[in-house]
Amino acid sequence: MAFTSAVLGNTVFGNKRVKWGTFTTSGSETGGDIATGLTRVDMMLLQHSGASAVADAPAVTETFPLSGGDVTIITTATADGYWLAIGDD
């Protein structure tokens, strides 16, 4: 199956660009790359969505600040959620 992510919005906080969106896993997928559209990512927040509890919190497998906008995350299988990234355009 596939891991997908989408950018739903963006704004500016001071001198930083903030973007947010969703991620979706299906089947046995346990993560993938979130394409934030930023050129540098200083921080990312992750939150699972849905009505049922998820065994493990989603986690970022990168070191910040990250040059480039693709951030790799790991999740439990079939867990969807929200993300927020702060960085530079």
pLDDT in tens, the chain (89 residues): 589 999 999 999 999 999 999 999 988 889 999 999 999 999 999 999 987 778 889 999 999 999 999 999 999 888 899 999 999 99
Q: How many residues does the chain have?
A: 89
Question: Domain locations in the chain?
Answer: 3-88
CATH: 3.40.50.720, 3.10.20.30, 3.40.50.150, 2.60.40.3940. Which one for 3-88? 2.60.40.3940
**Integer Cα distance of 36 and 39 in angstroms:** 9
In sequence order, which residues have a C-beta less than 8 Å from that of residue 21 and are 6 or more positions away?
Answer: 5, 6, 7, 8, 9, 34, 82, 83
Provide the strand spans (E) within 14-89.
16-25, 31-35, 40-48, 59-60, 66-67, 70-74, 81-88
Q: Which two tokens mark 89?
A: 């355009």
